[in-house]
Structure 1
């Protein structure tokens, strides 16, 4: 399938999705959200892909927000439906993806753009990146998971301040408060993300998938994360990857994981 708003590239073990709406600073609209869902769904089914990097085109923006022109006249019910569909189709979908997703933030990540980056499993940013949730300056609140994921990452107080002031923080500030893992130059952003992805690819994809599930369980209401971890830990013992990994360790060699 040919996409209109995103680019998908594959190399050995790695896929890169680039949101490609530079004239709109890669703003999210319904069509882009739908295309991203399709792309992530297909890549998760591709057993050759061990990691996915998500970034934006150009040097100005990862995603500069949602496309406000699409919903400025929405009713209450239409607003609820917009948030519900977006969360289910893309943001929660990425968070629960079995394949690791790294957000490479190459500029502005505002509103829905920051919410998209926070849905990824972790984030790296370029020095010129600016991040924030400015929704209250438009008379609305973050609707794609921002009020939930930001406190998980930076703490309640910092999240309250960022959301209430509608301000932006720098890449270094984002690193200091745990919003991003690494900050580097714009030129080195994708190479850094690829280096991390390469390290991930050496490990068991089955175990990584189980780890993602167990970590996410800790943040789900009514779910005991420790129980989820115990269950996932036990299941790993029945996999070919576990047998190969332990055998390779005992034989003092690098494992060749079968992926089952």
Structure 2
């Protein structure tokens, strides 16, 4: 597919999505959200892709927020619809992919940008990254899952402070908070992220997909995460990857997983 606002590369089992709106600091507009959905959907369907990395073009920004000009004059109903459609099309969609998604945060990740990074399965930041949810300074609140995912990651008190002050934190603070897993020099960000992706790819894609579902279940209302774990643990026993993994272990050799 041809995209206007994003770039896609695939190599050695890794799919990389780069948001390519540097003149807008890679801000998310409706068109970009739709393109991102299509890109993630296509990579998810590709059996050769074992890990997806998402990053921003340039050295300044991962995503510096949403494109405010698109919704400045929205009504109450239009605002609610914007949030609902965005969450369904992209943010919830990414969170629930069976293929691991890593955010390589290469600069500003503000508003919708931080919400996108938080929807990914985990985050790695460059040392110049800055993160925050500044929506209340515009008279609105985070609408793409920020009020839910941020407290899950950093705790209620820190989330309350970050949202209410509309402030930014640097990469090292984000690491201390548990918002990102690693901080590396910007020039090393993609290579470092790909190295972690390579470690992930040694393991069973089927088992990883089940693990993502089980971990996510713990954060969803009315769902018993333990029951989801039990169910998905059992499903693993019916996969070719389980047979290969256990056989390889007993034969003292490296497993060759097919993702089936």
TM range (shorter): over 0.9
Where does residue 50 of structure 1 map in the other structure?
50
Where does residue 229 of structure 1 map in the other structure?
229
Q: Normalized against structure 1, the TM-score is what?
A: 1.00
Where does residue 204 of structure 2 map in the other structure?
204
Where does residue 191 of structure 1 map in the other structure?
191
Alpha-carbon distance in structure 1 between the residues aligned to 2:257 and 2:64: 39
Secondary structure in structure 1 of the residue aligned to 2:98: coil
Residues 87-137 of structure 1: per-residue CA shift (max 9 Å, x gap): 000000000001000000000000000000000000000000000000000
Alpha-carbon distance in structure 2 between the residues aligned to 1:181 and 1:12: 23
The count of residues paired between Structure 1 and Structure 2 equals: 260
Alpha-carbon distance in structure 2 between the residues aligned to 1:107 and 1:177: 18
Residues 179-203 of structure 1: per-residue CA shift (max 9 Å, x gap): 0000000001001100000000110
Where does residue 119 of structure 2 map in the other structure?
119
Where does residue 143 of structure 1 map in the other structure?
143
Structure 1: segments with no counterpart, 5+ residues: none
Structure 2: segments with no counterpart, 5+ residues: none
TM-aligned CA deviation for residue 259 of structure 1: 1.6
| 1:64-79 aligned within 5 A | 64-79=64-79
Runs of 4+ in 1 over 4 A off after TM superposition: none
TM-aligned CA deviation for residue 41 of structure 1: 0.3
Alpha-carbon distance in structure 1 between the residues aligned to 2:142 and 2:257: 41
Alpha-carbon distance in structure 1 between the residues aligned to 2:178 and 2:200: 20
Alpha-carbon distance in structure 2 between the residues aligned to 1:132 and 1:50: 30
Residues 219-243 of structure 1: per-residue CA shift (max 9 Å, x gap): 1100000000000000000100000
Residue 240 of structure 1 pairs with residue 240 of structure 2: yes
Q: Normalized against structure 2, the TM-score is what?
A: 1.00
Alpha-carbon distance in structure 1 between the residues aligned to 2:171 and 2:107: 9
Residue 40 of structure 1 pairs with residue 40 of structure 2: yes
Alpha-carbon distance in structure 2 between the residues aligned to 1:123 and 1:88: 21
Secondary structure in structure 1 of the residue aligned to 2:143: coil
Residue 177 of structure 1 pairs with residue 177 of structure 2: yes
Secondary structure in structure 2 of the residue aligned to 1:93: helix
Secondary structure in structure 2 of the residue aligned to 1:10: strand
Secondary structure in structure 2 of the residue aligned to 1:3: coil
TM-aligned CA deviation for residue 258 of structure 1: 2.2
Alpha-carbon distance in structure 1 between the residues aligned to 2:259 and 2:60: 38
Alpha-carbon distance in structure 2 between the residues aligned to 1:98 and 1:112: 22
CA RMSD of aligned residues (A): 0.3
TM-aligned CA deviation for residue 160 of structure 1: 0.1
Alpha-carbon distance in structure 2 between the residues aligned to 1:50 and 1:112: 26
Where does residue 31 of structure 2 map in the other structure?
31
Alpha-carbon distance in structure 2 between the residues aligned to 1:114 and 1:179: 10
Alpha-carbon distance in structure 2 between the residues aligned to 1:169 and 1:152: 17
